[in-house]
Amino acid sequence: MIYTNDYLDAYNGTHAEFPKKKLHELLVDAVRIYEQHIAIQDADDQLTYGELLEASVSLAEQFDATGQPVAVMAHRSISTITQLYAVFLSGNYYIPIDPSAPPSRKQQILDKTEARYLFDGGELTVLHGRDVKLPFQEKMSDGDQLAYIMFTSGSTGEPKGVVESHYQVYNTLMDMKERMQLTQYDGFLCLASLCFDLSVFDVFGAALTGGTLHLVKDQRDFADIGRVIENRHVTIWNSVPSVMDYFLREIKLSERAKNNMRVCLMSGDFVSKDLAQTTLDTFGKAGVYSLGGATECSIWSILYNITPNNINNHSFIPYGYPMANQSIWILNHRMDYALTEKKGRSLLEATA
């Protein structure tokens, strides 16, 4: 059996009309409505939206060029988030670098991107004075700009950079906002490294909604994560499945903290039925989702809402359905549509 065009069109009928916005505009918009709302909080400090914008603008004034790559040592801190917004406000794009990475990998990323500036801690360093232009920067339409380059290990072990634009990311954020009904009352728990694109949803999803971003120092410190969830108003969990699995095995939460959780997002790896069931049992009031996709298509492309009613419909958690303005095709080795129940390769398409 081959799926009919009508079936494929219905499955991939994901068109949605979203405005075009850059990520720093989300912060500016949030200040207009939620200036005194807590924008970001860690163990030691917090900033309102008004304070976050003021600090970001002050940093942005240090740049003397636009459209340039800015490397950022991605410490889990309020100052790093401020630096990301400063990069955008100055018209540049960021390249996050893991502070714990070997010096050779850090240098490889700096060399590959020809980073003109480097944020390390609180200092901005000018690495060189050349203008750097990537070939596709000139082809961006409707005022879109590069937002960031995320580096993965790549199939060869060499750092592989994946480029994302503001509009692509905004499309995903808007889908999630509408689908999850995110509001200014939500608290986003930032577990992922800022070098991993899951963090993009946490950081800029919070600004889009006027919610609060809660930073943790180490996603492996489950006791600290538990304290953050207990002591702050955390409603959004976003991590790879293994982090959720280990956390639920190690930490017992109060009923109040469990009931505060509204959305649990797991992506980046296979979500087992056992983990899905445990998550549903623990956070009984939360929507539980398995998500997937490629970094190239902006965080996620496909998702599946796991519920008590559908978890036993299959022997595994299905990959799901494409998100707004994205499509997925299962193709065989000849790049034709794969037959039903036959293995194939997934082709993802993002049109935002």
Average predicted confidence (pLDDT) for the chain? 92
Q: DSSP for 188-225, please give it.
A: EEE-S-TTSTHHHHHHHHHHHHT-EEEE-S-TT-HHHH
Model confidence at 330: pLDDT above 70: yes
DSSP annotation of 337 reads B
Rounded to an integer, what is the distance from CA 25 to the centroid of its chain? 17
User: What Å distances lie between residue 197 and 172, 190, 267, CA to CA?
Assistant: 12, 11, 11
Q: What is the pLDDT of residue 349?
A: 79
Is the pLDDT confidence value at 1 over 80? no
How does DSSP assign 124-157, residue by residue? EEE--------GGGGG--TT--EEEEEEE--TTS
Residue environment code for 66-101, b if the CB has 16+ CB neighbours within 10 A, otherwise e: ebbbbbbbbbbbbebbbbbbbbbbbbbbbbbbbbeb
| Structure confidence at residue 225 (pLDDT) | 98
Task: For 201-238, write each residue's pLDDT tens digit.
Answer: 999 999 999 999 999 999 899 999 999 999 999 999 99
* Of 19, 335, 34, residue with least CA distance to 183: 34
What is the share, in percent, of the chain residues with pLDDT greater than 70? 95
Where does CATH 3.40.50.12780 sit in the chain? 5-16+216-350
Coil, strand or helix at 311 = coil
pLDDT of residue 352: 57
Buried-exposed string 102-130: b where 16+ CB fall within 10 A, e elsewhere: eeeebebbbebbebbbbbeeeebeeeeee
| Residue 331 confidence (pLDDT) | 86
Here the tokens at position 4 are 């009919």
> How far apart are alpha carbons 230 and 16 in whole angstroms?
37
**Where exactly does CATH 3.40.50.980 map onto the chain?**
49-165
Class of domain 5-16+216-350: alpha beta
Under CATH, what is the fold of the domain 49-165? Rossmann fold (3.40.50)
How much is the pTM? 0.93
Cα 4 → chain centroid: 34
State the burial class of residue 232 (Cβ atoms within 10 Å of its Cβ: 0-12, 13-18, 19+).
middle
> Mean pLDDT, to the nearest integer, of 327-334?
83
What residues have CB less than 8 Å from 341, skipping those under 6 apart? none
pLDDT of 27 reads 98
Residues listed for the chain: 352
Which alpha helices (H) appear in the chain, and where do they start and end? 5-11, 23-34, 49-60, 78-89, 103-113, 166-180, 198-209, 222-231, 241-250, 255-260, 273-282
Which contacts qualify for 175-183: CB closer than 8 Å, 24 or more apart? 175/16, 175/18, 175/323, 175/324, 175/325, 176/201, 176/205, 177/205, 177/208, 177/209, 179/323, 180/236, 180/262, 180/263, 180/287, 182/208, 182/209, 182/211, 182/236, 182/263, 183/209, 183/210, 183/211
CB burial readout 287-318, b (16+ within 10 A) else e? bbbbbbbebebbbbbbbbebeeeeeeeeeebe
- 52-108 pLDDT, tens per residue? 999 999 999 999 999 999 999 999 999 999 999 999 999 999 999 999 999 999 999
Predicted confidence at residue 255, as pLDDT, reads 98
Alpha carbons 199 and 213: distance in angstroms, whole number: 10
Model pLDDT, residue 136: 60
pLDDT in tens, 195-207: 999 999 999 999 9
Query: What pLDDT is attached to residue 253?
Result: 97
pLDDT of 32 above 90: yes
273-322: per-residue pLDDT in tens? 999 999 999 999 999 999 998 888 889 999 999 999 999 998 999 999 99
pLDDT at residue 338 tops 90: no
